[in-house]
Chains A and B, each alone.
Chain A
Amino acid sequence: MLKVVNLAHAYGDQQVLAGIDLSVGDGELVSVVGPSGCGKSTLLRSIAGLIKPSHGQVLINGVPVEQTPDDLAVVFQDYSRSLFPWLSAAGNVALPLRRKGMSRRARREAALAALDQVGLAGSADKYPFEMSGGMQQRVAIARALAYRPALLLMDEPFASVDAQTREDLEDLVLAVRANHNMSILLITHDIDESVYVGDRVVVLTRSPATVTESLTVDLPSPRDQIATRELEAFVRLRSEIGRLVRGRPDLVGEQ
C-alpha cells in the first residue's frame, strides 16, 4: 500500500529525517513512535505530499507521490486548527467530498453517516466552538472516514484530549478500521498507544531520524483497554520500545 524509500528531509541546514524506510501493508495499522522532536510530523507531511522531501521517495500502490495524493486523508493533532470553524460538523465532514464530484445531497448524507459512526449523530449542525475537544477530534476523524481514503494518516491524533477521551478514540479507530478496509499510519509519542492500536510499531531514533526497529505487535484482537494492557506480551513490547525510544540499544533484547 504505502512504501517509503530512503526518505530524508532537511529544513535549511537542519537535517530532520535521515533515510527512512518503512511500509504499510493493505489494511495494516502501523504506529510510528519516536522521541519528541525527532521529525515524525515531517515524515507524515512528506507522505501526505504537503512538503517535498529533500531525498527519497514515497510510493502509494507503487505510484510515486508528487502532490497530495487523492486516496489519502490526514487527521492532525490540533483539531481546533484543522477543523474549519465557519462550518458546522456536517459541513466540515462534507467539504472534502467535493473532490469526489458528489451531489450536495449525497455529500450531506455521507457526512451524517460518518458522524453517526463516530458517535456524533446528534451534533451534525453544531459548530466546532460549541463542541468539546474530544467531539471536535471525532469530527476530524469523521471527515477523514467520509472521504473513504485507502490510506489514513494520523498525526498524534489523541495527544490533545483527556485520558478517557483518548481511550475512547483509540477504540474508535480500531473499530473503524475493522469496518473499512483501510490502511492506517498513526504517529504518536505515546509508547503504550503505539502498541495498543498497532499491528506493527516502527521506532524512530532521535533527529535526524532513522528507523531503528520495526516490531510486530502480536496481541489478540479485538483489543481491550484493560485486558490487553495487562498481557505479558504487551508489557514486554512496551518495555522494549521504551528502551529503543530512549536510545539504549544495549538494553534491547532480540527482535
Chain B
Amino acid sequence: MTGARLVRGAVGVAGFLAVAELAVRSGYLDERLLPPPTVVVREAVLLVADPEFTSGLVGTVSRWLTGLALAIAIAVPAGVLLGTVAWAERATRPLLEFLRPIPSVALIPLAILLIPDDFLMKISVIVYASLWPILINTMYGLREVDPLAKDSLRSFGFGRLAVLCRVSLPSTAPFIVTGVRLSAGIALILAISAELLAGGAEGLGVFVIRAGSGNRTDLVIAAALWAGTAGVLSNTALVAAERRLFRWHHVRSGAVT
C-alpha cells in the first residue's frame, strides 16, 4: 500500500521532470532562462563543494533552527498560560486575533527599520512568524484535555500544578508538536525571505539574489531545491516523531473520527 503510493509518487515526479527536460531540450522553452532539470540537479550536487553556498546554507539553517527553538521556548509557556488562565486569555484574545492574520513577511521591512542588528532582525521575524501555530495549538490542546482525566489525578489528592504537569501537558503534547511542525515550515520561509529582502553577508536567500543578478537561473533553482529539501527533511522527521511518540493519540483520534 505504502509501497504502491511511493511508486506512484515517484512516477509523478519522474514524469514532470521528463516533460520539463523535453520542453527545454526541444527548444520550446528558452534554455538560457529555464535550464533543464538535469542541469539543475547537476548544479545542485556541485553546490555542495561551493563554500559560498555551504556557508550560506549553514547560516540559514542555524538561524532557522535558532528562531524555531526560541519560538518554542516562548510560545509553549505563553500557550500554557493563556490556555489555563481564563482572564489572561480573554485579555489578550482581541490583540492575538488582530496580529495573527497579518502575513509575517509583510512585517520584514518594518523589522529592518526597527532592528539595526542583522542577526537579531532575522531571528526576530522568524520567531514572530513561528510563534503562532505553536501558541494556538498549545492553547487549543489544553482546552481539549479531558476534565475526567484531570479529576482522576485530582481525586488522588494531587494539586493544580501536578495535574497540569502530569495530565494536561502530556495530553497536549501531540497538539504542541503538530504546532512545531507547522512552525518549522513557516520559520524556514521567513529565514529565507528575510535574506531576500534584507540581504546580508551569507545565507541561502543571499546566494539566490547573487545568482539571480548574474542571470544564473540554474543556480537559483538549485539553491531552491536545497531549501525545499531542508523543509521536506524537517517535516518528515517531525511527522515520524509524532507517529512514534503519540501513537496513543492517533489511535484515539482515529477511533473517534
Nearest chain B residue, comparing its CB with the CB of A78: B148
A71 to B, closest residue via Cβ: B157
Chain B residues whose CB sits within 8 angstroms of the CB of A48 once the complex forms? 155
The yes or no answer to B16 lying at the interface (CB within 8 A) is no
Q: Determine if A96 and B251 form an interchain contact, defined as CB atoms under 8 angstroms apart.
A: no
B158–A99 touching, CB < 8 Å: yes
Interface size on B, residues (CB 8 A): 24
Q: Which residues of B contact A74 (CB under 8 A)?
A: 151-152, 155
- In whole angstroms, what is the CA distance A74 to B146 when docked? 16
Given A76-B148, A76-B152: A85 in contact with B157 (beta carbons within 8 A): no
A76-B148, A81-B149 as given contacts; A147 in contact with B156, CB under 8 Å: yes
Contacts of B167 in A (CB 8 A): 84
Q: Is the CB of B248 within 8 A of A128?
A: yes
A125 at interface by CB-CB < 8 Å: no
Measured CB to CB, the closest approach of chain A to B239, in angstroms, equals: 19
State whether A72 touches B155 (Cβ < 8 A). yes
Which B residues touch A69, using CB under 8 A?
157
CB distance from A123 to the nearest CB of B (A): 15
Residues B248 and A127 in contact, CB atoms below 8 Å apart = yes
Contacts of B143 on A, CB cut-off 8 Å? none
Separation of A96 and B255 alpha carbons in the complex (Å)? 28
Task: Flag whether A218 is at the interface (Cβ < 8 A).
Answer: no
Residues of chain B within 8 A (CB-CB) of A50 are 151, 154-155
Closest chain B CB from A90 CB (angstroms)? 15
Q: Is A68 an interface residue (CB 8 A)?
A: yes
Residues of chain B lying within 8 A (CB to CB) of residue A127: 247-248
Asked whether any CB of chain A lies closer than 8 Å to the CB of B170, the reply is yes
Q: How far is the CB of A111 from chain B (nearest CB, A)?
A: 14
> How far does the alpha carbon of A127 sit from the alpha carbon of B173 in the complex, in Å?
17
**Using Cβ atoms and an 8 Å threshold, which residues of chain B touch A49?**
155
A73 part of interface (Cβ distance < 8 Å): yes
**CB-defined contacts of B162 to chain A, threshold 8 Å:** 98
Residue A26 at the B interface, CB < 8 A?
no
Q: Which residues of A contact B157 (CB under 8 A)?
A: 67-70, 72, 99
**Which chain A positions have C-beta within 8 A of B152?**
74, 76, 82-84
Q: B148 touching A86 by the CB < 8 A rule?
A: no
Check if A81 sits within 8 Å of B148, measured CB to CB. Answer: yes
Question: Which residues of chain A (76-102) have a CB below 8 Å from chain B?
Answer: 76, 78, 81-86, 95-96, 98-99
Task: List, in ascending order, chain A residues with CB within 8 A of B105's CB.
Answer: none
List residues 156-210 of chain B with CB under 8 A from any CB of chain A. Answer: 156-158, 162, 166-167, 170-171, 173
* B156 surroundings in chain A (CB, below 8 A): 68, 72-73, 96, 99, 147
Q: Which residues of A contact B154 (CB under 8 A)?
A: 50, 68
Give chain A nearest CB distance to B76 CB in angstroms.
17
Question: Which of A68, A85, A96, A98 sits near B248, CB closer than 8 Å?
Answer: A85
B149 touches which of A84, A96, A98 (Cβ 8 Å): A84
Q: Would you call B47 an interface residue if the criterion is a C-beta within 8 Å of the partner chain's C-beta atoms?
A: no
Q: Are A129 and B170 in contact (CB under 8 A)?
A: no
Cα distance A61–B157 in the bound complex, in angstroms? 17
Contact with A along B131-162 (1 / 0, CB 8 A): 00000000000000010110111111110001
Q: Is there an interface contact between A95 and B151, defined as CB atoms closer than 8 Å?
A: no
CA distance A82 to B152 in the complex (A): 6
Quick one: CB contact mask for B99-130 with A, threshold 8 Å, 1 for yes? 00000000000000000000000000000000
| Minimum C-beta distance from A176 to chain B (A) | 17
In the complex, A167 Cα to B121 Cα: how many Å?
Answer: 67
CA–CA, A153 and B157, complex, Å: 14
Asked if A81 meets B146 with Cβ closer than 8 Å, knowing A72-B155, A73-B156, the reply is yes
Q: Is B90 an interface residue (CB 8 A)?
A: no
CA distance A68 to B152 in the complex (A): 11
Q: List the B side residues contacting A82 at CB < 8 Å.
A: 148-149, 151-152
Indicate if the CB atoms of A86 and B151 lie closer than 8 Å.
Answer: no
By a CB distance below 8 angstroms, the chain A residues around B216 are: none
The 27 listed contacts between A and B (C-beta, < 8 Å) are: A45-B151, A49-B155, A50-B151, A50-B154, A50-B155, A68-B154, A68-B155, A68-B156, A69-B157, A70-B157, A76-B148, A78-B148, A81-B148, A82-B151, A84-B149, A84-B167, A85-B249, A86-B173, A86-B249, A95-B153, A95-B166, A96-B156, A98-B162, A99-B156, A99-B157, A129-B248, A153-B155
Given contacts A68-B156, A83-B152, 5 further A-B contacts (CB under 8 A): A76-B148, A82-B149, A82-B152, A84-B171, A129-B252
Which B residues lie at the A interface, using CB under 8 A?
146, 148-149, 151-158, 162, 166-167, 170-171, 173, 246-249, 251-252, 255
The 8 closest A-B pairs by CB, nearest first: A96-B156, A74-B155, A85-B248, A82-B152, A81-B148, A129-B251, A86-B170, A70-B157
